[in-house]
């Protein structure tokens, strides 16, 4: 057999993922499993892993902040969806474990970080279905799981995510707007550098290498898509757009991110729609896509963290 054909690359998401003609997948991004912490020495946050669906292997990591003694008031719940283009990273990799530790400590919330199944082994819409299953599981465990039962105020529930995870958070909020979650109400969603595209370019998208890659990636992770105006990736084309199932949204973009204009467009269009809520916007000048994961101590990352924390606690 011609070895050059065996090693032929049919898809590449540089510098993170390479797929070969013979079906092999090579994830170049470090995906080393970081175990949960009984108590994180830096933040005091505790974490543990839970299995949501033994059949599919769907799981999540729960986070609990350092508790005051005595802990009299219950805490908000944050449901987090990690990024990675639907095909790299997990809820258990270093970037997300350390970010969730910091976020939980700063915001003083209980969190669940969902480890949805990834493409290409599990193409979309599987990640969306896993995420919805996780919300249903959360409701079913509200009076059973120790941390939920003892420490969560289910009147203060938020969803958040970055990049592909922000896309998931939006789509879960859309679904929550027209499907019942057994009484669970989402107060707000936080979309950090959301992964959205569209058939018609806007702003600086013409010739934008990042946007071109984002479109190519979408057809790879979602092979049955209707295209770049599929409501799953272009939310303003969704007939349910104005039925977003929450009352508050925070959209965060980065100036040098190729997805920046699409996030800004989302903010503008949601504000003009018939949705009955408040949408907020923040931009990190001079920064690129998910910079806060790679340089969490820089001033702009600290400012982003402050905005997220403030958003969660504004209504208190």
- Separation of alpha carbons 100 and 264, rounded Å: 25
Note if 163 is an active site residue.
Answer: yes
pLDDT at residue number 127: 98
From the CA atom positions of the chain, what is the Rg in Å? 19
Which residues are registered as beta bridge partners of 250? 190, 280
pLDDT at residue number 4: 47
What DSSP state is assigned to residue 41?
A: T
pLDDT at residue number 10: 79
CA dihedral 49, 52, 57, 59 (to 10 degrees): -40
- Average pLDDT per consecutive 10 residues, the chain (316 residues; last block may be shorter): 61 80 76 92 98 98 92 93 96 97 98 97 97 98 97 97 98 96 95 98 94 95 97 98 97 98 98 97 98 97 98 83
Grouping H, G, I as helix, E, B as strand and the rest as coil, residue 212 is: helix
What the chain holds in terms of domains, given with CATH numbers, is 1-30 (no CATH), 33-313 (3.40.50.1820)
pLDDT at residue number 7: 75
Q: Is 130 exposed, middle or buried (0-12, 13-18, 19+ CB in 10 A)?
A: buried
pLDDT at residue number 22: 83
pLDDT at residue number 27: 76
In this structure, are residues 98 and 180 in contact, taking their beta carbons and an 8 Å threshold?
Answer: no
pLDDT at residue number 2: 45
The one catalytic residue in 59, 113, 134, 163 is: 163
Is the overall model pTM greater than 0.75, yes or no?
A: yes
Give the pairing of strands 188-192 and 248-254: parallel
């Amino acid at each position: 057999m011609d070895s050059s054909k065996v090693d032929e690359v049919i898809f590449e998401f540089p510098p993170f993922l390479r797929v070969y003609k013979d079906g092999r997948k090579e994830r170049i991004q470090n995906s080393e499993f970081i175990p949960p912490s009984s108590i994180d020495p830096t933040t005091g946050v505790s974490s543990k892993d839970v299995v949501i669906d033994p059949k599919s292997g769907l799981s999540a990591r729960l986070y609990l902040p350092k508790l005051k003694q005595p802990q009299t008031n219950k805490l908000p719940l944050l449901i987090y969806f990690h990024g990675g283009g639907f095909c790299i990273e997990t809820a258990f990799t270093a970037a997300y474990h350390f970010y969730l530790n910091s976020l939980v400590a700063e915001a003083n919330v209980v969190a669940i970080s969902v480890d949805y199944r990834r493409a290409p082994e599990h193409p979309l819409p599987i990640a969306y279905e896993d995420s919805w299953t996780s919300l249903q599981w959360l409701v079913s465990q509200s009076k059973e799981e120790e941390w939920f039962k003892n420490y969560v105020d289910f009147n203060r529930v938020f969803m958040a995510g970055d990049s592909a995870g922000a896309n998931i958070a939006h789509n879960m909020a859309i679904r929550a707007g027209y499907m019942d979650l057994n009484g669970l109400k989402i107060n707000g969603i936080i979309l950090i550098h959301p992964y959205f595209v569209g058939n018609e370019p806007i702003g600086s998208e013409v010739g934008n290498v990042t946007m071109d890659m984002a479109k190519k990636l979408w057809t790879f992770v979602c092979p049955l898509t209707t295209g770049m105006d599929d409501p799953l990736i272009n939310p303003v084309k969704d007939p349910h757009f104005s039925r977003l199932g929450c009352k508050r949204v925070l959209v965060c973009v980065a100036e040098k991110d190729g997805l920046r204009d699409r996030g800004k467009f989302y903010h503008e269009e949601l504000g003009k729609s018939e949705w009955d809520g408040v949408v907020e916007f923040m931009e990190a000048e001079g920064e690129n896509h998910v910079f806060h994961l790679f340089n969490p101590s820089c001033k702009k990352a600290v400012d982003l963290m402050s905005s997220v924390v403030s958003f969660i606690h504004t209504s208190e």
